[in-house]
Each structure stands twice: as C-alpha cells, then as structure tokens.
Structure 1
C-alpha cells in the first residue's frame, strides 16, 4: 500500500508546455519541493502518451493525430537556468578592428525618464553580478537606450552606431535561408536548440574591451563578453558555431547564428543526432534553453 493523501482542491486547467506544444492539466498543490510538477498516469493516458524507457522518450498525439516527442537527456548542465558566469577561453575571440586613423567615440548619455532610470539601475546590476560588464575609464563611450519587447518588458540597448562606422567589417558570410532549407530535403524529424544568451558565451579580446564602453547616469562600463549591437557580432558567432559543428553541418545540423536545427530522416536516427549535438555543446561548454 502506498501513502494516501487527502486532497481538497485542484487548479486548472493549467497549460503544460512540452516542445512548444501546450497540453492542459489539472494540478494539485503538494508539499514536495524537490519536484516542480508530477504528471500522473491518468494525464498521460488522456494525452495518448507512449513511453519508451530505453530511449527516455515520451511521445504524444495532439487532437489532429500529429505526434510530437520529448526526449530525456543525461546532459542537464547543458540547460542551466542561468549562464554560470563568464565563458571559458576559446580559440575564437570577438575582435574590433578599426579603420586607420579612427579616434575614440565619445558621446553623452541620453536623457531617460524616471521609470527608465530605475530599470537601468536594475539591469546594470544584473550585468555586473554576472560579470559581463565592469566599470571603465576608457576614452571611448556611447549612450544607451531602452527598446520595448513583445511581452512589454524593456531591453537595454547600447548605441554602437558610431563605433560600427569605424569598424572594419567581418566578411564571413551568413547563410541564405533558402540554402539552409535545401539541406532539409527528405528530413522528417526536427529539433531546435536556442542557445541561452548566445552572444554572452564569447569573450571579447582584452585589447578591444575598452572600445565597448557605454555611458550612463550611473557610470561608465565596458563589456567583457560580446554585446548585441556590435556590427561584427553575427558574423563572428556564425563562424564560431560552424567551427563547433563542422563535421555535422549539412548532414544532421544546420546553424543560423545562435539557432541550431537538428534534422533526420527517421526518429531512431534523430535520437542519435540530437544526443551528438548536445554532447558537442557540453564538450565546448555552450549552454542552451531547455524550453526549446
């Protein structure tokens, strides 16, 4: 006999997101802090779930009969809730090469509303706590501004436009979307991996760190990791990802900057391809979002 628990109230229907598919569940609050949620046999049966223990794979069918799966992983450290600090030293660093005769860019901070200044303090402290920025005495300096995101929150953006004008452009080619789709001919199973703050997983070359300085009402700061808004950031990260997955490209993996797509002709092959891609990320110390 198992332990019996008397329950008074359920909550629901609550949305449960699995591989970007939403399934409803009625949830009951229990004092079990070690688990976020437990989905029982009745719920699995209601959603036509099929469990393959050997493959650690759970397959569901939606209302239209289409299948989608969740594959368990032995690589939880590839999917941290937050990045574990500064990235490791890599063979590739982000560099900012300037045109001959370029002088430091020095711009005054933009004016901000009181609510923006309050948010600025919060986001600056988060970047400092993570080690991504540090106080700067560089002669360089550009202003910052906020851009509203789809969910209503705001993103801190560094106005690197003047610095970008002085930067020698990295001509590493970004792939054409049509060319990427051509590689998917015959593939039937797909998994998408989105790196967690991918740009922040690459360090800036020491000598170029002062060029990233930005100015705020609360001080001057410089980035130690690659920042959004720098003109060569997409090309540099694209080159880095191609190096990481060089032997998998166009056979089981395609990459577009920090988005990774694993594709296969059948489910059995896909499990092997997905594990190989995750193992490569672990080996190279890159981190992804588990929700993808």
Structure 2
C-alpha cells in the first residue's frame, strides 16, 4: 500500500511537469491547469478564449509582460498562477507582477515581482523605469474603479507601439461601494475583502466615474479625426488608441498611431470640396452649435 501511494505521488508530480509541456500552445488548457483565467464551474471567468485570439500571433516574440495583481490575497507565499501561466505560454518573454502584498517569494527565472499599490503613480513610474516599455499590461488588481482608471492613465503611455492593455473584471463598474456603520468592520485585516466595500461602481449605468464608462468614452476617440468641431485638440488617447475590444467583464485595448485621416473632415472642419458642394465658404454659414468636448486624459 505504501509503495502504491509513493508511485501515485511520483506520477502526479511528473504529470504536473508534463501537462504544461504538452499543452504549452493551448491557452485554455494551460488556464485550466493553472486554475486561472478560465473555468468550467459556475461563476468562473472565461477569459482564456479571448486571450488566445489576441495573443497567439505574438506568443513566440520576446515580450515584456506586466500583470497587476498576483493572487493569494494576504498570504505572501500564495498566488502567482497567472504569472506562471504567462511564462509558459510566452516562452521567450519576461513576466513582471505587481501586488500590494510582498509576493517576492514567488519570483523565479523570468518572473520578477514588485510590491506597491496600483493607484500610486510614483510607484508605477518607478516600475516602468526598471522594466522599460512594455508589450502587454494586464490589470487584474484591486478592481476598484478609480484604481483601474488611474493605472491606465499612468501605464498606457508606457506601452510600446502595437502594445496591448487589458482590464479584467469590469463587473465592479456596476457594484456600488458599501458604506455606513454596517460595513465598517467588513473584511478588516484582509486587503481583498476590504477592497470589495469600496469598488466605486454604481447602479447608474451613466455614472461617469465607473471604469466602464471611462473606457466607453475612449471609443469615440478612435474617430476623433471625424469630429466636426473646429479647434478640437485630440487627447493622448485619441492619438494612440487604434482599437478596443469589449467582452464580458473584459476590455482589450491596442496602442498605435491613430492617424488614418478622414476623407470628409480635416483639422475637424469640412474639407474645401465639401464646403463647395454645400455652396458655402465656412462652417459658420451652417449656423451650427458646437458643444464643449471634454478631453478624456484630463478627467
């Protein structure tokens, strides 16, 4: 009986080494193995199918990948499954992690970990100063709406051209913070549980402070060259976001030069041939009222 138990342990240990090798090119299988980004049980996030679509063409490139949020909650020795997943799937890449808890015990070859808060602009800039420009950034951090927005504003400029920025678990946009005496002691001592009481979402789908509404506003910037609005000054995001993909609880944003131009509008006024076709010399003759347009990078 003892021998049988020993053999089972050996087989189990060896299988854990073999499975990542066998399924190294199948992100969904790897995600199941590492128990992250994909699940078959009710309530699991099913991100791997989307990641595979976007990552498969670049998986063998030497990339720099940063993930915010390492997992394992308050235990400094637990978590890191996603970092190992990315290390296996991107065999030539360097993987970086950020967590508010010290998770350096989980470091290994091609995995480096920083401790700090994702809403600390100075800390994030120090991380970037060490890593250099990044190819992929994945925000799986606190999921507090304000944190997701502030991290994006700081880190998106640190992406290389053609880089990909991802925000997970956007469902907290629809959860209001839990305030009042009833919740004052909820989750005390647990970074994760305490964060659930202050996610900063809203029951109002038009609330401008949620991360989903922040990213939805950026969609218009894809077409900023079509804005019929004299004097409009494009934001950094207008000029550097080339596509956005929205999935269930997931936003994927590509960086590049958004400068295709418009065949109708130039410098946010109608081109001369359009004015001529309309029989006018300037937009003023159309007697239009131009509303103020907020700059997303100034919000």
TM-score by length of 2: 0.22
Using CA pairs under 8 Å that are at least 6 residues apart, name the structure with larger relative contact order, 1 or 2: 1
TM-score by length of 1: 0.22
Greater helix proportion: 2
